[in-house]
A and B are shown apart, each in its own frame.
Chain A
Amino acid sequence: MTILDVRGISKRFGGLQALSDVTFSVPAGQIVGLIGPNGAGKTTFFSTLVGLIRPDRGTVTLAGQSLVGLKPHRIAAYGMTKTFQNVALFGDSTVLDNVLTAGLLRHDVRVAREEARRCLDRVGLLAVANKQADTLSFPERARVELARALCTGPKVLLLDEVMAALNPVEMREIMDLIRSLRDDGITLLVVEHHMRAIMTICDRILVLNFGKLLADGTPREIASDPEVVEAYLGRSMEKHA
């Protein structure tokens, strides 16, 4: 069953064609990696999917529901949300309150608090629930972002570099978590620069280059696609993969 269907998404910022005619569809329950060089349009694309940026053309359909022209909060209610690459927590609030606020999308305060504890437990941050969000380290804050997005009860979850600055142990934990979310029936789109992680966890990889979809295939296909290797991975591919 197709959960997410993207047709001909284009977006221009002044003289820059940030996205051009991006088309693909995702069956429910996949982990899909989105890779590409810096400035390829990955974050712009995520922002477009969740409604923060309005595309010039194209349609996004989530579980049969058209999301064209909807505001982000409506898209979240239909079941798609994202984490922020540069981490956008409510810094003055506690970690628990950050996540609880997301739970209010589907629950009252009391139930949302329970949900928030459960989500924090999943990302391994229950111990710091009552700390002010600002006081956490960057990798911790990225995980709070993940817990907060999770607490909205998404069908499709877009993760924008949640593994940045993680040590190998933490990275393995996050990879396990992403797999377990997939096992719960959540479909995940993952932007990540760490090639080994992407190649390991993804069922499928999309390659974005200058706003265009360059390739779409299994990790094995992507790694051996000469066009991809030429355009993006280059020699560093041999070093990482």
Chain B
Amino acid sequence: MRSWMIVAAALVIACVLPLSLDPQGYWIRVLTFTFLFAAMAQAWNIVGGLANQTSLGHAAFFGIGAYTSTVLFMKFGISPWIGMIAAAGLGGLAAFAIAIPTMRLQGHYFALATLAFGEVLRVIANVWTSVTGGSSGISVPFTPPSFANYSFKLLLPHAYIALAALVIVTVIFEAIRRGAMGYRLRAIKENPAAAEVIGIDTTRVKLQAAIISGMLMAMLGTLYAQVAVFFDPDTVFSAASISIRVALIAILGGIGTAVGPILGAFFIIPLEELMNDWFSASVAGLSQLIFGLILIVVILWRPRGFVTLFKSLSAKIPGVSP
């Protein structure tokens, strides 16, 4: 068995899986969000994984994407597909604006500065009521189901669009990882001074990576808006449920690899749902407590992510390359 066969098998399963679920049910929604969060973690992985700049502010781009397409649709009747392109533009612009002051920072300082930027946008979205509707939230206008309007009666098409997004973002990530940019980002991660001295424009490469990551994240925000239909600033600009969760998914799965965010998302998103399902009826907060405990155990067991599990498995089975 070769790695491309594993990829092909995973794709086939991913394509068949939505068909096996109730097309209006609860689990297809969970699956759609799992695809979506895997794609988001993959977009985060470009900066967080390859350059090891742990951003805790990616909700900024996500929220910008969700609001851009929805506001354009609501106020001007522009199709969310076109809105998604506008979202990419604004997301890239925001990523550029945030990267300029933060890219000299490293480690915890970078994480805290990006976290602050995300929070600033959340506050702005809450008070800028004329555009965002403020804390009372915003609804994607209802239109008759059509692909052109990115509007469907069932969740099934949303699941496939989220899957397509995951595939596209993963292909982009893998192309960057294998290409010149990936080598340059890893060099910057390991030794910025040495990277400069051997001819890498570290400022430029970091900016490029941040902009690509921000653009993708914003486009995924549009996808989210179309699935969720209703959202508010505290949801799409959330530090905990967007920024930190996306980072957590990538870290738990294994940063800097294409498989990591996918493994992480397929672990975290369904687990969270299961915990809520099983324990929410009992003591308040018990589900989060157990979820947290499981995360701690997993991080202690696999500090470099689930990917390492893959690698040690493939080392034992001859012929399987990771």
Contact = CB atoms under 8 A, between A and B. Distances in A.
Interface of A: 50-52, 71-73, 76-77, 81-82, 84, 88-93, 97, 100-102, 104-105, 108-109, 112, 148-149, 151-152
Contact of A92 (B186, B193, B202): B186
A72 B197 contact: yes
A150 to B, nearest CB: 10
A227 B200 CA distance: 42
A108 B184 CA distance: 12
B198 A152 contact: yes
30 contacts: A50-B197, A51-B196, A71-B196, A73-B196, A73-B197, A73-B199, A76-B198, A77-B199, A81-B198, A84-B193, A84-B194, A84-B197, A88-B193, A88-B194, A91-B190, A92-B190, A93-B187, A93-B190, A101-B183, A101-B184, A101-B187, A101-B195, A104-B183, A104-B184, A104-B200, A105-B200, A109-B178, A109-B179, A109-B180, A152-B199
Contacts of B20: none
A108 B178 CA distance: 12
Contacts of B194: 84, 88-90
B130 interface: no
Contacts of B195: 90, 101
Interface residues of B, number: 20
Interface of B: 178-180, 183-184, 186-187, 189-191, 193-202
A109 B183 CA distance: 9
B184 A73 contact: no
Contacts of A84: 193-194, 197
Given A52-B193, A89-B191, A93-B190, A100 B183 contact: yes
A76 B199 contact: yes
Given A100-B183, A101-B184, A109-B183, A76 B191 contact: no
